[in-house]
Amino acid sequence: MDFYSESLTTALQLIASRDPDVVSAVTVSIVVSLWSTLFAALAGVPAGVAVAVAEFPGKRAVVTLLNTLMALPTVVVGLFVYSLISRQGPLGEFGLLFTPWAMVVGQTLLAIPIVANLTMSAIKGADPRIVPTALTLGAGPFESIRRLVLEMRFGIMAALIAAFGRVIAEVGVAMMLGGNIRGHTRTMTTAIAMETGKGEFALGLALGLILMAVALIVNMALNALQQR
């Protein structure tokens, strides 16, 4: 028990003193996750709305694909993006590998299916009278869809929060594409994995506590939106 109590005390001291390694890992994690969630929203929300409201051949297959991609292994995404941005890849000339933007690309690909699927579910759960009523009142098709999205904005925000929670706790893509470079691409999850392996349990515990706090805040926000 002394080991755990001493480690917890040291971890709390690291957090209270704003240890540079802790601050750097937390900052990189949050910034990368926010950018990834933003890009995922720009692609996933329109895709989810389109699949929900449109009728087209193969719609069931698209829905099945989105459901499958929600469980996409992070190492598979990391491997795919790595093949694109490595020096031998088609995008290697841009020098993205082992940069925060490489992690953003990988985490965006992880988050898009989550945003699209949950947005689709939210739109499908809307009152079916919204669009016909808007059309009856003189709104065009685009305006009717916009009204539908506004009505379901809390469900869409919940989708974004869920995506953020997914990417900030991700380790495979961050390790493969970011390289876990101290002060540059090291995130909370990759730092926890590395520091624990080195025997620096207190630093890993400090980052774990912060990560759990972020997860708690995200889930509290998600529950609040669902209640709305």
Residue bearing tokens 């493969």: 176
Q: Which two tokens stand for residue 93?
A: 């000339």
CB 13 within 8 A of CB 207: no
Residues 6 or more apart whose CB falls under 8 angstroms from that of 11 comprise 202, 203, 205, 206, 209
The CATH code of domain 19-227 reads 1.10.3720.10
Residue-by-residue DSSP string for 14-37: HHHTT-HHHHHHHHHHHHHHHHHH
> Which of 71, 50, 44 is closest to 157 using CA atoms?
44
Q: Enumerate the domain spans of the chain.
A: 19-227
At 10, which helix (H) or strand (E)?
A: helix 2-16
Instruction: Record the pTM.
Output: 0.90
- Per-residue pLDDT tens listing for the chain (228 residues): 567 788 788 888 888 898 999 999 999 999 999 999 999 999 999 999 999 888 888 888 999 988 888 888 899 999 999 999 998 889 888 889 999 999 999 999 999 999 999 999 988 887 777 777 777 777 777 788 888 888 888 889 889 999 998 999 899 899 999 989 988 999 999 999 888 888 788 888 899 999 999 888 888 887 777 676
